[in-house]
Amino acid sequence: MNVINPATEEVISVLTPDTAATVAAKLKALRAGQKNWQNHSVEERLAIIERFGELVVENKPELARILTSETGKPISQSINEINGSLGRIQHLKINAEKWLESEMITPKDATVEFITHEPLGVIANISAWNFPYNVGYNVFLYALVAGNAVLYKPSEFASLTGLKFGALLHEAGVPANVFEVVIGSGAVGQYLLEADLDGYFFTGSYKTGVHITQTVAHKLVPVQLELGGKDPLYVMDDVVDVRQAAINAAEGAFYNNGQSCCAVERIYVQEDIYEEFVQHFTEEVKSYKLGDPMEEDTFTGPLTRPQQIAVLADQIKDAVAKGAQLVLGGESLNRKGYFMSPAVLTGVNHTMELMREESFGPIIGIQKVSSDEEATDLMRDTPYGLTAAVFSEDEARARKVLDQMNVGTVYWNCCDRVSPNIPWSGRKNSGLGATLSYMGIRAFTQPKAYHWRG
């Protein structure tokens, strides 16, 4: 299996994919390892995960280069991701023991009642390439601390990073038969669905999420899905600094080339400030340095997967045919690599795919609205339910709009943000279940209820 650098189209590594037989052997080993791992105290498991965090810090420059070389993520953003994801370890360190300890419910009754939180067993973590540290840690670190063994399949587009996770976890003290990496494409992922695992934790597209859920349904084991979004941002007419709102919105839309599950995917702007907002927004996007992702000041690198360029080109074509104006970008570069300049479209509406289908790339539509009611209706007009954002000076006005959103996360005067302190979850086509917060560790446990008569 060739690993290709999306900025140069060069093969940077050749890996041997797993087979049904190697997946079965890894699972067998994990079954044995998990029993022992669950007998370690939470404190011992946490100490190992903390050591893993230290090793990540010690190896940060190399890890960032690996991530950039296989995904095209600009190097400064690779470093940001590695730094930011360490917050998950800190969060576990502070909270995991308290969330995993047994809970006494009725200590004084004739029948004493209490709950313990047992690990699920051996779980599958099928992960995505766009933020492998963040979305990986959300699952495999929390699962390990809770006493599970993990069969981890990185996306084929982040395989080298996935292999590094395995090597560093083992070096930190996670036994080899407690965390195993499976290398390969979706076809190899399919072997995991057929294997006898105790839970499926997936980050990726709606289509694959549904396929996984249907395939493993008969096992009656937990399935958790972190899927895509079509996340709206509404800029109200009372924002004091329209330019700053435009800068923040552009970053929400174009950070990591728009390849974030919670990237701003559509923008609604109140008519009184629309022209001014569009002008500042396009100026800001024009200032982004596009090019070699290994250079520290590059903000926009190549797309990770070449096939996404055709998806984005179709969205632009469809929108323009229906009356939108392409005010900036959408061009390929005269160089090797999967590059497309960030595209800004105005005069858009909901008949256009751009405003309805996940873009997952450097493209945004900005639509004019005349009232909060109109914006609310448009923001709700989607099969997805990941996040929604409002920029406004007026908290009550923003809250009124955001309370009507059927999404897992709402943002007032911020966007494109994930915190380990509060749950990360999608509704409708954006997912099932939650990671992070106490919910994100309980997700990897099953309760046992004790009815205790002395």
Catalytic positions, written as ranges: 226
Asked if 189 is part of the footprint of ligand NDP (rule: CB under 6 A), the reply reads: yes
**Eight-class DSSP state of 12:** E
- Residue of the chain from 180, 226, 353, 372 that contacts ligand NDP (CB under 6 A): 226
429 close to 385: Cβ distance less than 8 angstroms: yes
Nearest Cα to Cα of residue 37 among 48, 21, 28: 48
300 close to 74: Cβ distance less than 8 angstroms: yes
- Residue of the chain from 18, 70, 81, 156 that contacts ligand NDP (CB under 6 A): 156
The CB-of-426 to ligand NDP minimum distance in angstroms stands at 5
Nearest Cα to Cα of residue 423 among 408, 402, 406: 408
Choices 72-80, 184-192, 315-323, 342-350; region in contact with ligand NDP by CB under 6 A: 184-192
Single-letter amino acid code for the residue at 170: H
Strands, E, within 244-403: which ranges? Answer: 264-270, 325-328, 343-346, 363-369, 384-385, 387-391
Q: Across the strands, what pairs with 253?
A: none
The CB-of-135 to ligand NDP minimum distance in angstroms stands at 5
Contacts of 422 (CB under 8 A, 6+ apart): 436, 437
Identity of the residue, 83 or 190, whose beta carbon is nearer to ligand NDP in the bound complex: 190
Strands, E, within 99-228: which ranges? Answer: 103-106, 112-119, 122-126, 149-153, 179-181, 200-203, 223-226
Nearest Cα to Cα of residue 204 among 305, 126, 308: 126
Asked if 227 is part of the footprint of ligand NDP (rule: CB under 6 A), the reply reads: yes
Identity of the residue, 212 or 242, whose beta carbon is nearer to ligand NDP in the bound complex: 212
Site map 405..434 versus ligand NDP, x via CB under 6 A? ---------------------x----x---
The CB-of-69 to ligand NDP minimum distance in angstroms stands at 17
Torsion of CA 184, 187, 190, 192, to 10 degrees: -20
Asked if 204 is part of the footprint of ligand NDP (rule: CB under 6 A), the reply reads: yes
Q: Which of residues 88-127 bind ligand NDP (CB under 6 A)?
A: 126-127
Identity of the residue, 205 or 341, whose beta carbon is nearer to ligand NDP in the bound complex: 205
Identity of the residue, 161 or 346, whose beta carbon is nearer to ligand NDP in the bound complex: 161
Asked if 208 is part of the footprint of ligand NDP (rule: CB under 6 A), the reply reads: yes
Q: Which of residues 37-96 bind ligand NDP (CB under 6 A)?
A: none
The CB-of-439 to ligand NDP minimum distance in angstroms stands at 14
- Residue of the chain from 92, 96, 135, 328 that contacts ligand NDP (CB under 6 A): 135
Helix (H) or strand (E) holding 2: strand 2-4
Q: Which residue has the tokens 């399935």?
A: 223
Comparing every residue's Cβ against ligand NDP, the nearest one is 189
Identity of the residue, 201 or 281, whose beta carbon is nearer to ligand NDP in the bound complex: 201
CA distance 207 to 212: 9
Site map 242..271 versus ligand NDP, x via CB under 6 A? -------------------x----------
The CB-of-127 to ligand NDP minimum distance in angstroms stands at 6
Strands, E, within 174-274: which ranges? Answer: 179-181, 200-203, 223-226, 231-235, 264-270
Site map 272..311 versus ligand NDP, x via CB under 6 A? ----------------------------------------
268 close to 369: Cβ distance less than 8 angstroms: yes
Interacting residues with ligand NDP (CB under 6 A) = 126-131, 135, 153, 155-157, 185-186, 189-190, 193, 203-205, 208, 211-212, 226-229, 261, 358, 360, 386, 426, 431
